[in-house]
A and B are shown apart, each in its own frame.
Chain A
Amino acid sequence: EIVLTQSPGTLSLSPGERATLSCRASQSVFSSFLAWYQQRPGQAPRLLIYGVFTRAAGIPDRFSGSGSGTDFTLTISRLEPEDFAVYYCQQYDASPFTFGPGTKVDIK
């Protein structure tokens, strides 16, 4: 099973600042099979990024993904009020498809 770890656990930032979230895999994620999700309180997760880099439909371009192998990054270039939420990475290279424990982005 591929274990994902995310850092930091909590990121305290102000609106307009840049957020950099990390996701590390216990073994290499081949074929760029890594996705990112946003979950706001009381809501279902929402797909942001798949295939490491590709934004899902309707996702603003302030969200970007990068990385390869075992190290991946989600960057939010300028935080908007609605971006304060929990973010999860997910690998879909190998079953079971696992999620990281999440990074909470909260308002400083």
Chain B
Amino acid sequence: QVQVVQSGAEVKSPGASVKVSCKASGYTFTGFYMHWVRQAPGQGLEWMGWINPYSGGTSYAQKFQGWVTMTRDTSISTAYMELSRLTSDDTAVYYCARSQLGKVWYFDLWGRGTLVTVSS
């Protein structure tokens, strides 16, 4: 079954970091980009960036440059998104989503999301 499974909900204090995982199965992990998209409560979707699991190359939205890091471990077909210096504005559901290689940056497979709550 083609799917991506994300790690569980997190509660963090302001100023802390969070690392969310996304494990792929049923397809060739290195054959697709992995993106991260977040959704604040009751709000729309915000694209954060992508990682190429084959090369490890990344591209981040300018808003997140300097405080998001996307990595991967090809041995376990897992992508990671780490967000640092958390504030209450970072409370959101974080999704990983797959896109095909090449300039076709639409997302055909999504994880179920990981709720990150930032609260003191």
A residues sitting closer than 8 Å to B (CB atoms) are: 31, 33, 35, 37, 43-47, 50-51, 56-57, 88, 90, 92, 95-102
Query: Which secondary structure dominates chain B's binding surface?
Result: loop
B residues sitting closer than 8 Å to A (CB atoms) are: 35, 37, 44-47, 59, 61-63, 95, 97, 103-108, 110-113
- Chain A residues contacting B44 (CB-CB under 8 Å) are 88, 99-102
CA distance A101 to B44 in the complex (A): 5
Query: How far does the Cβ of A23 sit from chain B's closest Cβ, in whole Å?
Result: 13
Count of CB-CB pairs between chains A and B under 8 Å? 57
**Given contact pairs A98-B47, A100-B44, A92 touches B106 in the complex (Cβ within 8 A):** yes
CA distance A104 to B112 in the complex (A): 20
- Chain A residues contacting B47 (CB-CB under 8 Å) are 96-99
Q: List 22 A-B contacts (CB under 8 A).
A: A31-B103, A33-B103, A33-B105, A43-B112, A44-B111, A47-B108, A50-B104, A50-B106, A50-B108, A51-B106, A57-B108, A90-B45, A92-B106, A95-B59, A95-B61, A96-B47, A96-B63, A97-B35, A98-B47, A99-B45, A99-B47, A102-B44
- Chain B residues contacting A31 (CB-CB under 8 Å) are 103
State whether B108 touches A56 (Cβ < 8 A).
yes
